[in-house]
Each structure stands twice: as structure tokens, then as C-alpha cells.
């Protein structure tokens, strides 16, 4: 290890010295990739998604019912199913969000015509009929072939209610909940991987203090049993963005740490704060820059929470679960403000790439992440309108990055120029690299500068390059998006903007672009 590290330093500084002796003022843009010392596994669950009862995410976006004229499988839209399968969704979080702490699961089981109608008090005040409930969600996860991530109700629920939900879902023993499940048409128990003990309990989930929530979490978790071979990964409600004190409270007591396997954090990228989020499509470079700056803060937020977790859990037995992230803009004009429907541009695509690269780089601690949200809400991967569907630029990034799922993180060293706007500066490039089970290396890069092409050299250390291929996502305008009328304005194409010589790949990245390289070695 020491020899490898010294080689890494020698090569890195040697290449930088060569660049500096060229005698020009061009900035050095270099991504050194160490190919022969793979690091931690990049959990596939970092690429998870989030489906809340919010706006038309569920009703109209995912669920249309079995009698709909829209092609469906057991009431779930076929076009959405195919699109989610293609990006290999590893886990799906449901039913919220803020909705989770008002949701009582027994309202959503049994014959649809007998289910209780409820008012969605958090999102638009609409009445929904609960036609999409536990059975429908679990069928959705089966059809997508992903793990279920269920969010339990701590804010307005009870310990018994949550414990019975886990039993209903996962128990094969003879019991009232097992018999109830069978009466509702499901003989065998389901497998449930992730179960959250509340959502945002510092806010919409009850406005609790960290100390009060910690005690509740210990109580609730005690009764979330493992039935048969099913093993729950219990997710404790963690903080919002920079609230390190919340993490400290949950982590410092050994008794509390023993009651969960993952700790959630939430962070949304904003242009000018919660009171002035800005338009998703009508924006200039100022808004672009501020969004990118906000995106990059995810790295320092994770580092801050990791430092606390490392102090109390040096063996890294607890995962960081970033189960809400993404851009949050103003809703599209003319839509219900409570539905959080926003368009999706190349700016969102670069945002997705930046975040996924950050999560990859923290694979030792970040075990799960969920983009908010899947369909028609916030930074979604899919938009629907009646029987029409469009794939957003963000969807294309998730399709490109699926190659990182369950691959091994490679050590990289990125030195690059800064992107400057009106006296403020941020890094101009984002990157990560991994090696899969077949030995293929994948390098993902994003150019955050919307107005400048950047050339970066990528020395690959510890492996002989055989071939390099790539694909790219970019656009001619900062606000380019896919619409129902023009669904392929922003899409991936083959990337040819690179050269390879003597183990160094030289990549020329267009402005505002996302690039994925696949490197086969000898």
C-alpha cells in the first residue's frame, strides 16, 4: 500500500510538473486514476429513487388503475415500468416524505371499494381513495425488480401500527396480520429490505427535538422484528443538511446506535433559498452558477456527518442514507403549488452527475440515496401527461451511471481549473471512477461550466489500456429540456472527443456536459 501511494504521488506530481514546464498559462486539468487498487463497493442502492403520494407522482404518474385505457400491468403504467427497469432502479422509497407521517397503512389494504378516502394535508389538500396501497407498491417493486424501502409513521402513528405493518409484510407465521394479508390475496410474505423509522421528525414529521426523537426511535425500533429470513435495514431519521448536532445525538449513545443500521440525511439544492427557488427553465448563468455551487455543498455536508459517525462508529457499520436530494425549483406556471411539478433541463442532468459522483466518492459510508422524486415531482426522471411520457435529462444520467452499481471505487486525484462567475469560484469538473466484476473501468465526468469547453488528461495507473469508448449528454442551451412535443431534445450520443496515448486518455469535454467512458484493459 505504501509503495502504491508513493507511486501515485510521484506520477501525479510528475505529470503536473510536465504540464507546468510547457510554459503556457493554460490551467492544469488532470484526473489521475489508480486502476489496480480497488476500494469500497459502490452500493447499487446509491442509485435509488423516491415515490411519494405527492401531486401526480403516484396517481397518474405510476398508478392508473386496472381499468385505464393507458397500457398497464396490474394498474401500473407499462411505459413507466419499462423506463425504470432500464435505469436499473435498485430500491424505491414509499409512501413519503412528509406524507409518511400521516399515512395509516391499513387504510390502503383490502378491496379497493372499501378503502378509506383520505385528505393529503401536506400536498395540495386533495382527497385520494387509497387505491394504491401496500399490495400495489410491493407489486410495483416486483415488476421493477427492486428492493422496497418503506417509510413508517412515527409522527402520527403508534408503535403497534408500525410493528403490525412489518409483520403484515414479512411474517410467514400464523398470526392475525399474516391471516389478514392472506385474506387480501397475498399468501407468501414479501421481502422488505429498508424500513425507515419516521421522516423529517425534526419538521413535518412531528417537530421533535433530537433527544425526543432518539428515545422514540429506540422504542419503535425495538418492535420492528425480523421474521423468517427477512432482515430489516432500519433507517433512523437523521438531520437536514448541516444539522450536525442531530447526528451527534443519535450516534453518541451506544444503546441508540444499536437500534438502527442507517441514518438518513436530506439536502436540496436551491438557487436563492426556500423563499425564492427560481424557475426550472427560465434562468441565466447566475442561477446556473448558484445551483452548481449548492450542488457541491453536498460533499461538505457528507464529510461533516461522516466525521461524527466515524468517531462513534470507526468500523463503519452504520450507513449514511441520503434519501432525499435534488434540485428544488418553483412549480411550473399554472400547476397546483402543492404538486411540486417542475421541468427538467441539462442543468438538472449536471446536478445529478455531480451528486452521484459525490456519493460514489463516499462509498465507504454512503450506502443508500434516493433522488426526489421518480415521476412528475421535483427533479424527476420521468414526466407524464395522460397517456404520454417523456424521459428527462436526469433519467439519461441515471442510465449512463448504472455501470457504477456494485462496482469497486477507484482512487482518483482530480486537479482542475475553477469556474468563475462574478468573482465567485467553484470547481469546474466533477468525477469518479470504478471497476466492475469484468474488469471494465468506468469514468464519469461532468463539466459544470455552461460556457467553456475543458480538456482534461486522465492517466490510468496500474493497468494497460486496450480500448476506450464513451457516451455524452449535453445541449446547446442551459435550459434545454425534453417536452411531450419534443421528447429527444436532450439525449445521450456516442462520445468521440478523446484520444489515447501511452496510458493517458485526453478528454475534451464540451460545456455543460456529462461524459461516461468505458475503459477495457489488457
CA-atom Rg of the chain in angstroms: 23
User: Would you call 211 a catalytic residue per the annotation?
Assistant: no
Please tell me whether residues 494 and 379 are part of one structural domain. Answer: no
CATH number, domain at 13? 2.60.40.1180
| Candidate list 324, 453, 471, 518, residue with the active-site label | 324
Same domain, yes or no: 402 and 424? no
The yes-or-no answer on residue 285 being catalytic is no
The pLDDT tens digits for 459-505 are 999 999 999 999 999 999 999 999 999 999 999 999 999 999 999 99
Q: Find how far residue 375's CA is from the centre of its chain.
A: 14
* pLDDT bracket for residue 2 (50, 70, 90): very low
Q: What mean pLDDT comes out for the span 442-456?
A: 98
Interatomic CA distance for residues 235 and 237, integer angstroms: 6
Exposed, middle or buried: residue 336 (CB in 10 Å: 0-12, 13-18, 19+)?
middle
> Mind spelling out the 3-state secondary structure of 43-82?
CHHHHEEECCCCCCCCECCCECCCCCCCCEECCEEHHHHH
pLDDT tens readout for residues 63-73: 999 999 999 99
**Among 448, 440, 443, CA closest to 474:** 448
Of 383, 406, 429, the residue that ends a domain is 406
Choosing from 378, 406, 434, the residue where a domain stops is: 406
Residue 27: predicted pLDDT:
76
Model confidence band, residue 20 (pLDDT cutoffs 50, 70, 90): very low
Would the pTM of this model clear 0.85, i.e. be above it?
yes
What residue has cell string 394479508? 181
Residues 157 and 261 in one domain: yes
- Catalytic site residue from 200, 248, 285, 332: 200
The residue from 358, 384, 406 where one domain ends is: 406
Instruction: Say whether both 158 and 182 belong to one domain.
Output: yes
Question: Burial, 68: exposed, middle or buried (Cβ in 10 Å; 0-12, 13-18, 19+)?
Answer: middle
d(CA 107, CA 109): 6
Q: Distance between CA 237 and CA 66 in Å, rounded?
A: 35
Q: What is the pLDDT of residues 73-91, one digit of tens each?
A: 999 999 999 999 999 999 9
* Average pLDDT of span 90-96: 98
Quick one: pLDDT at residue 28? 87
Domain that holds residue 31: 2-40+409-521
Domain with 191 in it: what CATH number? 3.20.20.80
pLDDT band at 457 (very low <50, low <70, confident <90, very high): very high
pLDDT in tens, 265-280: 999 999 999 988 999 9
- Check residue 256 and give its pLDDT: 93
**Do 190 and 314 fall into the same domain?**
yes
Whether 135 shows a pLDDT value over 80: the answer reads yes
pLDDT of 336 > 50? The answer is: yes
Task: Compute how many other C-beta atoms are within 10 angstroms of the C-beta atom of residue 89.
Answer: 25
Indicate whether 154 pLDDT > 60.
yes
Taking residues 10-16, what's their average pLDDT? Answer: 45
Query: What digits encode the pLDDT tens for the residues 381-416?
Result: 999 999 999 999 999 999 999 999 999 999 999 999
Domain co-membership, 19 together with 116: no
314 and 423, same structural domain?
no
How many structural domains are present in the chain? 2
Predicted pLDDT at 25: 56
pLDDT in tens, 288-314: 999 999 999 999 999 999 999 999 999
Question: Residue 90 phi/psi, 5° resolution?
Answer: -85, -30
Per the CB < 8 A criterion, the answer to whether 369 and 43 are in contact is: no
3-state secondary structure 209-268: CHHHHHHHHHHHHHCCCCCCCCCCEEEECCCECCCHHHHHHHHHCHHHHCCCCEEEEEEE
Query: Residue 16: is its pLDDT beyond 70?
Result: no
Is residue 206 domain-shared with residue 303, that is, in the same domain?
A: yes
Question: Could you tell me if 396 and 455 lie in one domain?
Answer: no
pLDDT score of 10 more than 80: no
Whose CA is closest to 414, among 384, 385, 447? 447
Q: Are 50 and 33 part of one and the same domain? A: no
Mark whether 433 and 385 lie in a shared domain: no
475 and 457 share one domain: yes
pLDDT, mean over the chain: 94
Amino acid at each position: 500500500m505504501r509503495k502504491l501511494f508513493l507511486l501515485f504521488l510521484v506520477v501525479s506530481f510528475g505529470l503536473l510538473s510536465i504540464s507546468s514546464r510547457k510554459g503556457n498559462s493554460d490551467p492544469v486539468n488532470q484526473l489521475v486514476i489508480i486502476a489496480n487498487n480497488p476500494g469500497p463497493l459502490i452500493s447499487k442502492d446509491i442509485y435509488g429513487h423516491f415515490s411519494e403520494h405527492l401531486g401526480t407522482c403516484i396517481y397518474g404518474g405510476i398508478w392508473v388503475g386496472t381499468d385505464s385505457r393507458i397500457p398497464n400491468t396490474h394498474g401500473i403504467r407499462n411505459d413507466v415500468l419499462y423506463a425504470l427497469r432500464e435505469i436499473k432502479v435498485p430500491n424505491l422509497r414509499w409512501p413519503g416524505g412528509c406524507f409518511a407521517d400521516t399515512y395509516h397503512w391499513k387504510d390502503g389494504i383490502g378491496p379497493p371499494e372499501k378503502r378509506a378516502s383520505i385528505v393529503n394535508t401536506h400536498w395540495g389538500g386533495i382527497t385520494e381513495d387509497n387505491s394504491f396501497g401496500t399490495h400495489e407498491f410491493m407489486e410495483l417493486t416486483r415488476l421493477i425488480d427492486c428492493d422496497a424501502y418503506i417509510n413508517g409513521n412515527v409522527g402520527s402513528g403508534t408503535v403497534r401500527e408500525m410493528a403490525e405493518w412489518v409483520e403484515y409484510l414479512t411474517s410467514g407465521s400464523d398470526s392475525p396480520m399474516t391471516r389478514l394479508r392472506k385474506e387480501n390475496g397475498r399468501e407468501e410474505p414479501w421481502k422488505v429490505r429498508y424500513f425507515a423509522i419516521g421522516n423529517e421528525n425534526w419538521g413535518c414529521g412531528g417537530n421533535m427535538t433530537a433527544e425526543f426523537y432518539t428515545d422514540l426511535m429506540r422504542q419503535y425500533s425495538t418492535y420492528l422484528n425480523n421474521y423468517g429470513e427477512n432482515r430489516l435495514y432500519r433507517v433512523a431519521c437523521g438531520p437536514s443538511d448541516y444539522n450536525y448536532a442531530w447526528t451527534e445525538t443519535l450516534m453518541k449513545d451506544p444503546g441508540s446506535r444499536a437500534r438502527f443500521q442507517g441514518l438518513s440525511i436530506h439536502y436540496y439544492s436551491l438557487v436563492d433559498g426556500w423563499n425564492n427557488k427560481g424557475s426550472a427553465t427560465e434562468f441565466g448563468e447566475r442561477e446556473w452558477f448558484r445551483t452548481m455551487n449548492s450542488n457541491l455543498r453536498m460533499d461538505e455536508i457528507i464529510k461533516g456527518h461522516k466525521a461524527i459517525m466515524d468517531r462513534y462508529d470507526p468500523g463503519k457499520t452504520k450507513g449514511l442514507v441520503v434519501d432525499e436530494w435534488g434540485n428544488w425549483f418553483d412549480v411550473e406556471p399554472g400547476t397546483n403549488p402543492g404538486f411540486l411539478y417542475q421541468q427538467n433541463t441539462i442543468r438538472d442532468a449536471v446536478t445529478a452527475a455531480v451528486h452521484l459522483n459525490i456519493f460514489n466518492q463516499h462509498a465507504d459510508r454512503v450506502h443508500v440515496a434516493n433522488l426526489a422524486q421518480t415521476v412528475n415531482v421535483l427533479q424527476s426522471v420521468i414526466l407524464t401527461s395522460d397517456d404520454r411520457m417523456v424521459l428527462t435529462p436526469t433519467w439519461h444520467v441515471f442510465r449512463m451511471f448504472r455501470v457504477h452499481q456494485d462496482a469497486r471505487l477507484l482512487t482518483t486525484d482530480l486537479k482542475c481549473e475553477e469556474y468563475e462567475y462574478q468573482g465567485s469560484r467553484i470547481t469546474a469538473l466533477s468525477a469518479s471512477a470504478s471497476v466492475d466484476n469484468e474488469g471494465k473501468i468506468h469514468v464519469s465526468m461532468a463539466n459544470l461550466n455552461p460556457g467553456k469547453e475543458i480538456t482534461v488528461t486522465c492517466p490510468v495507473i496500474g493497468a494497460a489500456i486496450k480500448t476506450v469508448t464513451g457516451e455524452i449528454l449535453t445541449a446547446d442551451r442551459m435550459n434545454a429540456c425534453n417536452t411531450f412535443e419534443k421528447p429527444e431534445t436532450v439525449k445521450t450520443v456516442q462520445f468521440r472527443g478523446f484520444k489515447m496515448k501511452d496510458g493517458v486518455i485526453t478528454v475534451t469535454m464540451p460545456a455543460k456536459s456529462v461524459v461516461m467512458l468505458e475503459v477495457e484493459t489488457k
